[in-house]
């Protein structure tokens, strides 16, 4: 769907007027197309004194075609000379306070795990204040810390939790430039698993994700790492795969090497067959709410093995609560929540989801912030988040991860039918001042599905450009 406003706002003859009137001018986001998914250009890596995640950070970018710099040490900032000298990575020390306007960065990664007292929070200011204005368009900022709930020291836990407020605020300051900021919490023992999430968040695949907190936990990577085709040899099932976001998910998983089983209702069989044929995948024609749906799916995957399941199928049936019938409530809850529970229960009880498998659920911003006329929908999508959180521990025993995405305003045929004024408000009410695309949701799901994302479980990531609504 064309964003006419964005075209006019950035037009050759109109952009100056929009700037003078201080109207939003959405930056065209740099998204992945082919080749390396990492951002290109210049990367700045820094750390607070006594931070201990710098080694996995450096290891992540060992093979990257990036010009890497790091700051000269100060009272608040760590001396990284030794760390860089012990690697094959070529990096240049710089003085943060003597940079010229020509010094631009496409990415910034900062290890804040060494910040343990409120006084030491000054490291955030000393590092970021001189460099944040040096960011190029569509840049990435990543801050790493330790999860406060796993820290016994009160001061340490307090300041590590404060990183969330810092990152969310910074994301709002740089969003107008098409840039994003994320926070990664690394639980003790997860250090060897930081590569994949750090690569994803500094890549062009995370273009519409901002101000998110990604928790990384101990886990086990199974199999060899294939950056070009991370899902090679895997089989994935995607519900609601015939069109829109579901079709984009299927296409992206296939692009990354997976054999995709596309599932949708009989009424959409023609569309389903088209996408499965194009992707050289398989189809299951079924209504996920039917009594025999779990059996149909179980018997199909029993013969070919299953590594990944994406619960994308869902509906809206909007009514204010006072006008909502039993039908509007019960049917929606069955499609959006109960069917997912029944399918998972059958696959897991029959051991049909392989060890090291991946379960990815689709929630919604409505499940986080609520929405007028959507008490049923918001309830179901909030329940999906609760389900992901509750299932992470029992699934960990089989090395299966479970995560969710919560899309905001995504440009689809459904949102194209929204009245103009409401649609424009939905597009602009985020830090990036634009709607997302189905591929943005699909890229996050493809990341969760990777074998290398073994330490990422129990997360719900918003795909919303940092919506101004919700936490």
Catalytic (active-site) positions: 377
Contact 451, 223 (CB under 8 A): yes
Contacts of 295 (CB under 8 A, 6+ apart): 346
Q: Identify the CA nearest to 457 among candidates 365, 383, 395.
A: 395
3-state per-residue secondary structure call for the chain: CCCHHHHHHCCCCCHHHHHHCCCCCCCCCCCCCCCCCECCEEEEEEEECCCCCHHHHHHHCCCCCEEEEEECCCCCECCCHHHHHCCCCCEEEECHHHCCCCCCEEEEEEECCCCCCCHHHHHHHHHHHHHHHHEEEEEEEEEEECCHHHCCCHHHHHHHHHHHHHHHHHHHHHHHHCCEEEEEEECCCCHHHCHHHHHHHCEHHHCCCCCCEEEECCCCCCCCCCCCCCCCCCEEEEECCCCHHHHHHHHHHHHCCCEEEEEECHHHHHHHHHHHHHHCCEEEECCCCCCCHHHHHHHHHHCCCEEEEEECCCCCCCCCHHHCCHHHHHHHHHHHHHHHHHHHHHHHHCCCEEEEEEEEEECCCHHHHCCCCCHHHHHHHHHHHHHHHHHHHHHHCCCCEEEEEEECCECCHHHHCCCHHHHHHHHHCECCCCCECHHHHHHHHHHHHCHHHCCCCCCEEEECCCECCCC
CA dist 308 and 440 (Å) reads 19
Written as six digits, the tokens of 365 are 């911003």
Cβ contact 139:174 at 8 Å: yes
Q: Answer for the pair 464, 229: CB distance below 8 angstroms, yes or no.
A: no
State how far the Cα of 120 lies from the Cα of 142, in Å rounded to an integer. Answer: 19
């Amino acid at each position: 769907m064309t964003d006419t406003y964005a075209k006019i706002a950035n037009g050759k003859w109109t952009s100056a007027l929009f700037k003078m009137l201080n109207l939003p001018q959405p930056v065209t986001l740099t998204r992945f197309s082919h080749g390396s998914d990492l951002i290109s250009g210049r990367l700045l890596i820094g750390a607070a004194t006594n931070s201990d995640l710098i080694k996995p950070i450096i290891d992540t970018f060992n093979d990257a075609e990036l010009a890497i710099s790091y700051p000269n040490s100060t009272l608040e900032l760590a001396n990284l000379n030794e760390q860089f000298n012990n690697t094959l990575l070529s990096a240049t020390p710089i003085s943060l306070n003597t940079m010229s306007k020509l010094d631009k960065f496409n990415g910034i990664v900062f290890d804040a795990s060494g910040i343990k007292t409120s006084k030491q929070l000054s490291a955030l200011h000393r590092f970021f204040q001189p460099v944040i204005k040096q960011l190029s368009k569509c840049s990435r900022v990543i801050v790493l810390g330790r999860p406060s709930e796993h820290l016994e020291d009160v001061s340490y836990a307090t300041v590590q939790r404060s990183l969330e407020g810092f990152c969310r605020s910074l994301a709002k300051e740089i969003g107008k430039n098409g840039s994003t900021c994320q926070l990664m919490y690394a639980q003790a023992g997860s250090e060897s698993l930081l590569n994949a999430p750090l690569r994803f968040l500094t890549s062009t695949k995370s273009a519409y994700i901002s101000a998110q907190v990604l928790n990384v936990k101990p886990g086990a990577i199974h199999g060899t790492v294939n950056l070009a085709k991370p899902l090679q040899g895997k089989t994935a099932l995607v519900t609601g795969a015939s069109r829109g976001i579901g079709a984009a998910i299927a296409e992206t998983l296939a692009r990354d090497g997976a054999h995709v089983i596309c599932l949708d209702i009989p009424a959409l069989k023609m569309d389903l067959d088209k996408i499965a044929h194009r992707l050289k995948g398989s189809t299951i024609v079924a209504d996920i709410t039917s009594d025999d749906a779990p059996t149909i799916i179980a018997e199909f995957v029993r013969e070919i093995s299953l590594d990944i399941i994406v619960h994308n199928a869902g509906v809206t049936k909007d009514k204010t609560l006072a006008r909502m019938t039993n039908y509007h409530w019960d049917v929606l809850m069955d499609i959006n929540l109960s069917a997912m529970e029944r399918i998972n229960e059958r696959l897991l009880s029959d051991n049909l989801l392989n060890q090291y498998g991946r379960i990815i659920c689709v929630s919604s911003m409505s499940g986080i912030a609520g929405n007028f006329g959507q008490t049923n929908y918001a309830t179901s999508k909030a329940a999906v988040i609760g389900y992901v959180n509750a299932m992470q521990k029992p699934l960990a025993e089989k090395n299966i991860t479970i995560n969710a995405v919560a899309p905001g305003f995504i440009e689809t045929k459904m949102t194209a039918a929204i009245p103009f004024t409401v649609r424009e408000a939905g597009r602009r009410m985020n830090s990036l001042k634009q709607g997302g695309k189905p591929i943005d949701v699909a890229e996050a799901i493809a990341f969760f599905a990777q074998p290398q994302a073994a330490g990422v479980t129990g997360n719900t990531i918003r795909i919303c450009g940092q919506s101004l609504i919700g936490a």
